[in-house]
Amino acid sequence: MNAPLRDRSAHAEDIGEYLRVRAAMPALAQGLSDEDLSAQAMADASPGKWHLAHTSWFFEAMILNDRADYQPVDPRFQTLFNSYYEALGERVARDRRGLMTRPSVAEVMAYRTEIDRRMIDRLSQGLTSRRERYLFALGLHHDQQHQELFVMDMLSLMAASPLDPAAYVEEPRRGPAEPARGGQTWFEGGLIEIGADDVFAFDNEGPRHRVFLEPYALDHDLVTNGDWARFMADGGYVRPEFWLADGWAMVKAEGWTAPLYWSQDEAGDWTVMSLTGRHPVDPAAPVRHISAYEADAYARWAGKRLPTEAEWEHAARQAPDAFSNLFGEVWQWTSSAYAPYPGFRPTEGTASEYNGKFMANQLVLRGSAFATAPGHERVSYRNFFYPHQRWAFMGLRLAEDAPRRGTKPMLEDAVTAAFRRDLTQGLSALPKTLPPKWFYDAEGSRLFEAITDLPEYYPTRQEAALLAAIAPDLAQAFGPDATLVEFGSGASAKTRILLDATPDLAAYVPIDISPDALDLAAEGLRKAYPDLTVTPIVADFGHLNPLPPLEGAGRRVGFFPGSTIGNLDPDEAVSFMAGARRSLGEGALFLLGVDLVKDPALLVAAYDDAQGVTAAFNRNVLVRANRELDADFDLSGFAHRAVWNAVDQRMEMHLVATHAMTVNVGDRRFHFASGETIHTESSRKFTADTLRTMVEAAGWTVVRFDVSAEPSVAMVLLRGS
């Protein structure tokens, strides 16, 4: 029987994903000899050949084997390539994996090929149950975990050779490290939530639960090799006062004097063995290959401490932009024991042994490493190792206890730190810029509302009228019990038109960067719609965490009116729309409102009104910087300018320095030539074509396209394609 067309495309997506993930490990094995792939340097590591086989065995044991008539590719492989699953019978002890000279690498590759053939066959029949889908995702994530282990274990093998062989010409990494930025961000703590969101996660990341945190600060940067060298020079490895008892016992027993893979040459200079051979230690690079004991000793030496995993996750959720290398460089040790979260239940069935049984005597690491497969990481991810282990790509980022708000003024909250970073970076750029999201403090949000009432600013009026005309049709398309998720909701004024037309809506989730606007809007809505669940979220929609579990059995509907999408760069707009599609989930709709290209005279008037409200809105960002960042902008020295950029099809707002001057922002100084501008906002205008291209690039399909009366704006209804 032929599968329906829609199902077949879902199967093709699964097969595509399977092939993409499975191609990575053979690519890592390319160029390595059969001998490289067969040996193991220590009991914790496994041969490359074993990883190539075991990840295939996993699909066989967890997915293929669930049919009663299943015949294994080779029954012997069930023992040879089982890692630690007691329920699946005997296996070869881990420290003896390197003795398996047979099957050969060629036979293992043939085994992979056969498993892939059987998996593709299985995937093309379709994965039906939730459980099958979970195990399929687990198999892919398991493969990705072993891709990293493959590289870790290969380094341990190469480092065991006196020849210092290079496994690779270039380090196999997903992208460049981010530069260090200095400083730390302060978090108030309190009762916060950690744990898996409703994306794929291992069982150990859930359930999501509350944790109480005292105020703390987390360093923006990872500890570097240069920092580590200072610790060593100050007697780091010879002064027991820095060390936990078990750590000090390891220092003595193992003779540790430096991180794993470091050695000192005759001239006294340190070198480090890496995947590309032995090199001088780079002082600017994050330190790698240190145990939790060393990380803890370093922290004590530095007068700080390791973060707990809840502190790390909370910081990463609240202020992802404040930190360098949260992900993609080294896993970061925390002081948290790898223990079950309250209410933890292992995945049922064979995969129950995946994580839960290791929950004793290990510590959690957060983030991800340069060798972690792209797409494998998550903010809730819990990696774990024993505190003495060093061969993984592990490093550290320090935390410290912090006083409560107001008692230590040099520590900034996350939002202020991000504003300071954007402003100092923006004023250092040529031409000078500042992202428009910083307009919206309480006064900025108030000024924007005043703009929407101006005679020249047509977009809000036109969009509201259009929305009122099509709201009944939209309500029908949404269906019952839907959840409306609005981005940049501000006063939620237009939202009321939709709410009035959809009395059977289950919940409304307004998301805005401005807590003041959001509080005011939520209060008004709860009064006007007492039966509606209103769940406001203060967040930057450019860095959206997965949505919390939402009420309502119906579909999720994204709502992004007001042409706020036009304030994003074209690339940002596409990635925002693609991210929204992922976080809204399957079956979602999206209602997007945009302004259209029109006579530049009308546009310029809308952004340079006669009463000067837009000018005040523009200048308010300087007022905010003076207040929040200890800046000294002279407001009378900056003129408001609104111009139509025909090439990029956007209105631009600038603040123009009317004379040469110097401005201080905290302890930073910036020079302005006379006439030099800060580009504070772009407001892109669309045509039917440019709009369609943008949404389609983000995986959406236009379901309906409505245009208002002149001056025209458009509303499009989208569904995932």
Q: Compute how many residues bind ligand SAH; rule: CB under 6 A.
A: 20
Report in angstroms how near the CB of residue 285 gets to ligand SAH at its nearest.
32
- Tokens at 586, concatenated: 């399957």
Span interacting with ligand AVI, options 260-268, 557-565, 700-708, 713-721, rule CB under 6 A: 557-565
Interface pick for ligand AVI out of 607, 633, 686, 700 (rule CB under 6 A): 607
Binding part of the chain for ligand SAH, among 109-117, 278-286, 367-375, 487-495 by CB under 6 A, reads 487-495
Taking residues 427 to 466 in sequence order and writing x for each that binds ligand AVI by CB under 6 A, - otherwise, the string is ------------------------x---------------
Q: Among 261, 401, 249, which residue's Cα sits nearest to residue 335?
A: 401
DSSP-assigned letters across all residues of 23-88: HHHHHHHTT--HHHHH--SSTT---HHHHHHHHHHHHHHHTGGGSTT---S-TTHHHHS--S-GGG
Q: How far apart are CA 412 and CA 628, in angstroms?
A: 10
**d(C-alpha 308, C-alpha 337), whole Å:** 9
CA distance 261 to 277: 11
- What part of residues 564-583 is at the interface with ligand AVI (CB under 6 A)? 564, 566-567
Within 8 A by CB and 6+ apart from 108, the residues are 49, 52, 53
Q: Residue 683 binds what, of ligand SAH, ligand AVI, none (CB under 5 to 8 Å, by partner type)?
A: ligand AVI
Torsion (CA) 12, 17, 20, 22 in degrees, nearest 10: -110
Question: How far is residue 686 from each of residues 399, 506, 567, 596, measured CA to CA in Å?
Answer: 46, 32, 12, 5
CB 455 to ligand AVI: min, Å: 14
Whole-number Å distance between alpha carbons of 415 and 255: 45
Q: How far is CA 260 from the centre of its chain?
A: 29
Q: Can you read off the two tokens belonging to residue 247? A: 């750590």
437 interacts with ligand SAH by CB under 6 A: yes
Q: What count of other Cβ atoms lies within 10 Å of the Cβ of residue 96?
A: 10
Q: C-beta of 513: minimal distance to ligand AVI in Å?
A: 11
Q: What is the largest CA-CA distance in the chain?
A: 83
What is the rounded CA–CA span in Å between residue 512 and residue 578? 18
Contact between 514 and ligand SAH by CB under 6 A: the answer reads yes
Q: Is 457 in the site for ligand SAH (CB under 6 A)?
A: no
The interface with ligand AVI within residues 117-176 (CB under 6 A) comprises none
- Alpha-carbon distance 358 to 362, whole Å? 8
Which stretch in 295-303, 514-522, 563-571, 692-700 sits in contact with ligand AVI by CB under 6 A? 563-571
* Radius of gyration, CA atoms only, the chain: 28
Q: Is 680 in the site for ligand AVI (CB under 6 A)?
A: no
Please report whether residue 566 would count as binding ligand SAH according to CB under 6 A: no
Q: Report d(CA 96, CA 292) in Å as an integer.
A: 27
User: In Å, what is the CA distance from 602 to each residue of 185, 642, 654?
Assistant: 44, 12, 18
- Tell me: does residue 494 bind ligand SAH (CB under 6 A): yes
User: What residues between 334 and 363 interact with ligand SAH by CB under 6 A?
Assistant: none
* Nearer Cβ to ligand AVI (46/618): 618
Nearer to ligand SAH, 185 or 683 (CB): 683
Distance CA 704, CA 718 (A): 7
- CB nearer to ligand SAH: give 293 or 448: 448
For ligand AVI, the binding residue among 147, 563, 583, 708 (CB under 6 A) is: 563
Which of ligand SAH, ligand AVI, none lies near 541, with the C-beta cut-off 5 to 8 A by kind? ligand SAH
Between 73 and 451, name the residue whose CB sits nearer to ligand AVI.
451
Which position among 60, 219, 512, 608 is part of the footprint of ligand SAH (CB under 6 A)? 512
Q: Which does 715 bind (CB under 5 to 8 A by kind): ligand SAH, ligand AVI, none?
A: none
Site string for ligand AVI, 610-629 (x = CB under 6 A): ----x---------------
Phi and psi angles of residue 594, each rounded to the nearest 5 degrees, phi first:
-135, 155
Binding site partner of 512, from ligand AVI, ligand SAH, none, Cβ cut-off 5-8 A by kind:
ligand SAH
- Binding residue (CB under 6 A) for ligand SAH from 156, 433, 489, 708: 489
**Helix/strand/coil for 708:** coil
Strand partners, 657: 638
**Among 517, 580, 695, 716, contact with ligand SAH (rule: CB under 6 A):** 517
The residue from 98, 103, 259, 561 that contacts ligand SAH (CB under 6 A) is 561
451 binds, among ligand SAH, ligand AVI, none (CB under 5 to 8 A by kind): ligand AVI
Q: Does 440 bind ligand SAH (CB under 6 A)?
A: yes
**Phi-psi sector, 90: left (phi>0), alpha (psi -120 to 50), beta:** beta
Q: Which two tokens stand for residue 512?
A: 């805005």
Q: Output the smallest distance, CB 448 to ligand AVI, in A.
A: 6
Nearest residue to ligand SAH on Cβ basis: 562
CB of 646 to ligand AVI, least distance (A): 17
Could you tell me the CA-to-CA distances from 28 to 31, 56, 264, 373 in Å, in that order? Answer: 8, 16, 30, 11
Shortest spacing between CB 581 and ligand AVI, in angstroms: 21
Cβ atoms of 507 and 532 within 8 Å: the answer is: yes
Cβ 592 to ligand SAH shortest distance, Å: 11
Query: Where do contacts with ligand SAH occur on this chain (CB under 6 A)?
Result: 437, 440, 445, 448, 452, 460, 488-490, 494, 512-514, 517, 540-542, 561-562, 564
Query: Where do contacts with ligand AVI occur on this chain (CB under 6 A)?
Result: 451, 562-564, 566-567, 607, 614, 681, 683
